[in-house]
Amino acid sequence: MGVEVAVEGLTKSFGSQNIWQDVSLTLPAGEVSALLGPSGTGKSVFLKSLIGLLRPEQGSIVIDGTDILQCSSKELYEIRQMFGVLFQDGALFGSMDLFDNVAFPLREHTKKSESEIRKIVMEKLDLNGLIGAENKLPGEISGGMRKRAGLARALVLDPQIILCDEPDSGLDPVRTAYLSQLIIDINAQIDATVLIVTHNINLARTVPDNLGMLFRKQLVMFGPREVLLTSDEPVVEQFLNGRKIGPIGMSEEKDDAQMAAELAAQAAGHHDGSPEEDVRGISRQMEASPGMPERQAVARRQARVREILHTLPADAQKGILASLEGRYGADGFGDEYGYGSEQEGAHRAPSHSASDPDTEVFASADPQPPSAEGRS
Ligand SMILES: Nc1ncnc2c1ncn2[C@@H]1O[C@H](COP(=O)(O)OP(=O)(O)OP(=O)(O)O)[C@@H](O)[C@H]1O
């Protein structure tokens, strides 16, 4: 089974450029989590920090009882063996065929015989639908196949934690759906803890158990998917809907003057092509494919969210209760609870304030309600 990753008070800067500060979240063991955020908010920097490739100045990252920011290099090496990483471009060696690329970590980090290596590599290639392509070079295959080869390589050392940096980048929506299904199926089979960094709203709405978002050098929120998907935080709404109107600008954050000008243009009737309907609401989560083992994370997560239910915003609570009872948008309750399907269009739940104690933004997987100081 995967292990929990507990991040507390993490701050990272490059020289005078602060990337994010005081980031606290817990990736629950064996669950799938996703981190959203506008470009440049430091999502990749966060992934690299988790695996010890970058070193935040403050905070802790505790994995299997070891704080990787305090441990020895030998301990860090051992912790790194627990990770499988799917980099944005697959990060394959261009001069090696797919077989050798996938075999690389086994040859580098284990003393397995070539026949054992062949068995493992072929199994992982098969899992990722790459049988028959093992002798191809990365330059001879499509972007989707390169991603799947990268995923196959990430799996050969039986990782307990899988990090996926924008698995959808460069893929069409259909290939993205297949890759998403693959990640869920892998989770069902090996019960690893998964963190996906993505801009893909459909993936974010349907794949992970938990969702978080980075913005303005902060973790805006992190918790069960229902919290972010029913949030009325302006930045979350803007991001999920892909709208221009909102706090996220072209490159950096907007200033007040630009925001006012855009709102005035909208009031004057200018249509900027943003979707008319609000996608806020909880869509049904992707399940493991038929024939796959049941995702063990599902039952564990159900028990976990029941425990923390009272700490969550009202709309998220309603969505969680509905999903626990197996009620979905098709039976009409989406209208009331913001738990709808895309086919039905928008389901806006009653508005609530993020400053209301009953609807406080949830930013930790810790069962305790967020404290006044931040997250405990
Ligand atoms: N090694 C580095 N040295 C200096 N600055 C860096 C380094 N790595 C990342 N940065 C800076 O950190 C910031 C965040 O980069 P990062 O790639 O993590 O963003 P991101 O949220 O993943 O963006 P995107 O969604 O576009 O991939 C950027 O300003 C980037 O230039």
Tell me the CA–centroid distance for residue 42 and ligand 1, in Å.
5
Q: pTM for the full model?
A: 0.81
Q: Whole domain around residue 62: which residue ranges?
A: 1-82+159-254+273-376
Rounded distance between C-alpha atoms, residue 332 and residue 338, angstroms: 10
Q: Which residues of 147-166 are buried (b: 16+ CB within 10 A; e: fewer)?
A: bbbbbbbbbbbebbbbbbbb
Residue 154 counted as domain residue: no
Tell me the CA–centroid distance for residue 43 and ligand 1, in Å.
8
Atom number in ligand 1 closest to CA 42: 18
Tell me the CA–centroid distance for residue 19 and ligand 1, in Å.
8
Tell me the CA–centroid distance for residue 218 and ligand 1, in Å.
15
pLDDT, position 90:
66
Q: Beta-carbon neighbour count of residue 298 at 10 Å?
A: 16
Residue 94 counted as domain residue: no
Q: Whose CA is nearest to atom 9 of ligand 1?
A: 45
pLDDT, position 82:
92
Residues of the chain with pLDDT under 70: 89-90, 245-246, 249-256, 258-259, 269-280, 328-376
Q: Whose CA is nearest to atom 3 of ligand 1?
A: 14
Q: Ligand 1: which of 43, 45, 196 to mutate, most ligand atoms within 8 Å of CB?
A: 45
Q: Ligand 1: which of 12, 17, 19 to mutate, most ligand atoms within 8 Å of CB?
A: 19
Atom number in ligand 1 closest to CA 45: 18
Find the residues whose C-beta lies inside 6 A of ligand 1.
Answer: 14, 19, 37, 39-45
pLDDT, position 116:
94
pLDDT, position 361:
31
Q: Contact 226/316 with Cβ under 8 angstroms?
A: yes
Question: 358-371 pLDDT, tens per residue?
Answer: 332 333 333 333 33
Tell me the CA–centroid distance for residue 339 and ligand 1, in Å.
34
Residue 139 counted as domain residue: no
Phi, psi of 70 (to 5 degrees): -115, -15
Tell me the CATH number at 227: 3.40.50.300
Count the domains in the chain. Answer: 1
Longest dimension (CA), the chain: 71
Residue 96 counted as domain residue: no
Atom number in ligand 1 closest to CA 88: 27
Tell me the CA–centroid distance for residue 321 and ligand 1, in Å.
38
Residue 87 counted as domain residue: no
Q: Which helix (H) or strand (E) holds 75?
A: helix 73-80
Rounded distance between C-alpha atoms, residue 20 and residue 46, angstroms: 9
Q: Which helix (H) or strand (E) holds 226?
A: helix 225-229
Tell me the CA–centroid distance for residue 51 and ligand 1, in Å.
16
pLDDT, position 161:
96
Residue 373 counted as domain residue: yes
Mean pLDDT over all residues of the chain?
Answer: 81
Q: Contact 37/203 with Cβ under 8 angstroms?
A: no
ipTM higher than threshold 0.95: yes
Rounded distance between C-alpha atoms, residue 173 and residue 202, angstroms: 9
In the structure encoding, which two tokens stand for residue 199, read together? 């801009």
Q: What percent of the chain has pLDDT over 70?
A: 78
Q: Whose CA is nearest to atom 17 of ligand 1?
A: 44
Q: Contact 148/101 with Cβ under 8 angstroms?
A: no
Rounded distance between C-alpha atoms, residue 24 and residue 130, angstroms: 38
Residue 60 β-bridge partners:
8
